[in-house]
Amino acid sequence: MYAWMIATVAATAGLLFGYDIAVINGALVFLRQQWALTEFGTEIAASSLLFGCVLGAAVGGALSDRFGRRRVLMLCALLFGVSALGAALPRNLNEFVAARFLGGVAIGVASLIAPLYIAEVSPARLRGRLVSLNQMAIVTGILLAYFINWALSFQGSESWRWMFAVAAIPSAAFLGALFFVPESPRWLVAQGHPGQALRILGRTLGGGAAEAALAQIQQAILEEAGTLREILRPGLRRALGIALFLAIMQQWSGVNTVLFYGALILKEQVGGQSDTAAIGASVLIGLINFVATIAAIALIDRLGRKALLIASALGMAVCLLGLAAAFRQNEPSATLVIAGMLGCVASFGVGLGPGVWVVLSEIFPTRIRGRAMGVATVALWCACVVLTMTYLSLSSALGPSGAFTLYAVMCIGTALFVWKLTPETKGRTLEEIESFFQEDRS
pLDDT at residue number 377 = 85
Query: Is 210 among the domain residues?
Result: no
User: Given pLDDT bands bounded at 50, 70 and 90, which one contains residue 124?
Assistant: low
Q: Are 204 and 3 in contact (CB under 8 A)?
A: yes
Instruction: Identify the pLDDT of residue 311.
Output: 94
Alpha-carbon span 300 to 416, nearest angstrom: 19
Final residue of a domain: which of 181, 196, 218?
181
Residue 224, in any domain of the structure: no
Specify the pLDDT at position 105.
Answer: 96
Lowest-pLDDT range of 199-213, 235-249, 334-348, 403-417:
199-213
Report, as an integer, the average pLDDT of 332-339. 88
**Based on the domain organization, do 20 and 134 belong to the same domain?**
yes
Q: Can you give the pLDDT at residue 430?
A: 52
- 386/344 Cα distance (integer angstroms): 19
Q: What is the Cβ-side half-sphere exposure of residue 421, based on CA atoms within 13 angstroms?
A: 15
- 331: confidence class by pLDDT, cuts 50, 70, 90: confident
pLDDT given at position 429 = 56
d(CA 391, CA 400): 9
Tens digits of residue pLDDT in 293-305: 888 878 877 888 8
What is the sign, positive or negative, of the torsion defined by CA atoms of 401, 402, 403, 408?
A: positive
Task: Give pLDDT, residue 310.
Answer: 94
Model confidence at 440: pLDDT above 60: no
- Is residue 382 situated within a structural domain? yes
Confidence band for 60, pLDDT divided at 50, 70 and 90: confident
Same domain assignment for residues 284 and 411: yes
pLDDT at 274 over 60: yes
Q: What is the pLDDT of residue 112?
A: 82
Last residue within a domain, chosen from 181, 215, 248? 181
CB 170 within 8 A of CB 178: no
Tell me: do 159 and 243 sit in the same domain: no
Give the highest mean pLDDT range of 22-36, 77-91, 199-213. Answer: 77-91
Q: Of 50-59, 200-209, 365-374, which gets the smallest average pLDDT?
A: 365-374
Q: What is the mean pLDDT of residues 385-412?
A: 93
pLDDT band at 228; cut points 50, 70, 90: low
Q: What is the pLDDT of residue 246?
A: 92
For residue 442, the model assigns a pLDDT of: 45
Is 380's pLDDT higher than 70? yes
Q: Is residue 1 part of a domain?
A: yes
Residues 121 and 43 in one domain: yes
Distance of CA 410 to the CA centre of its chain: 20
Q: Same domain for 164 and 235?
A: no
Same domain, 294 and 172: no
**Which pLDDT score, from 0 to 100, does residue 394 have?**
92
- Is 212 a member of any domain? no
Q: At residue 90, does pLDDT exceed 70?
A: yes
**Number of domain units in the chain:** 2
174 and 249 in a single domain? The answer is no
Residue-level length of the chain? 442
- Domain of residue 45 covers 1-181
Residue range 2-31: mean pLDDT, rounded: 90
pLDDT for the residue numbered 212: 80
The whole-angstrom separation of Cα 409 and Cα 413 is 6
> How far is 236 from 311, CA to CA, in rounded Å?
27
Greater confidence (279 vs 442) lies with: 279
The answer on pLDDT for 130 being more than 50 is: yes
How many CB atoms are located within 10 Å of the residue 223 CB? 10
Task: Give exposure, 260-291, as e/b (b: 16+ Cβ within 10 Å).
Answer: bbbbbbbbeebeebebbebbbbbbbbbbbbbb
CA proximity to 14, closest of 128, 112, 123: 112
Most confident range (mean pLDDT) of 92-96, 375-379, 435-439 is: 92-96
Residue 315 has pLDDT above 90, yes or no: yes
* 343 belongs to a structural domain: yes
> 237 and 175 share a domain?
no
Is 112 inside any structural domain? yes
For the residues 271-277, what does the mean pLDDT come to?
Answer: 74
**Best CA proximity match to 256, nearest among 412, 407, 413, 40:** 407
Q: Once rounded to an integer, what is the mean pLDDT over residues 87-107?
A: 95
Rounded average pLDDT over 269-290: 82
CA separation for the pair 315, 80 (Å, rounded): 34
Give the pLDDT score at 273.
Answer: 67
Sign of CA dihedral 394, 397, 399, 402: negative
Share of the chain above pLDDT 70, in %: 90
Helix pair angle (275-303, 24-34), 10° resolution: 150
CATH number of the structural domain spanning residue 354: 1.20.1250.20
Do 279 and 341 share a domain, yes or no?
yes
Same domain, 177 and 238: no
Domain boundary among 150, 181, 212: 181
Amino acid in the structure at residue 353? G
Residue 69 lies in a domain: yes
Mean pLDDT, all residues of the chain: 86
- Helix/strand/coil (H/E/C) assignment for every residue in the chain: CHHHHHHHHHHHHHHHHHHHHHCHHHHHHHHHHHCCCCHHHHHHHHHHHHHHHHHHHHHHHHHHHHHCHHHHHHHHHHHHHHHHHHHHCCCCHHHHHHHHHHHHHHHHHHHHHHHHHHHHHCCHHHHHHHHHHHHHHHHHHHHHHHHHHHHHHCCCCCHHHHHHHCCHHHHHHHHHHHCCCCCCHHHHHHCCCHHHHHHHHHHHHCHHHHHHHHHHHHHHHHHCCCCHHHHHCCCHHHHHHHHHHHHHHHHHCCHHHHHHHHHHHHHHHHCCCCHHHHHHHHHHHHHHHHHHHHHHHHHHHHHCHHHHHHHHHHHHHHHHHHHHHHHCCCCCCHHHHHHHHHHHHHHHHHHHHHHHHHHHHHCCCHHHHHHHHHHHHHHHHHHHHHHHHHHHHHHHHHHHHHHHHHHHHHHHHHHHHHHHHCCCCCCCCHHHHHHHHHHCCC
Same domain, 90 and 235: no
The reply to whether 384 and 260 lie within a common domain is: yes
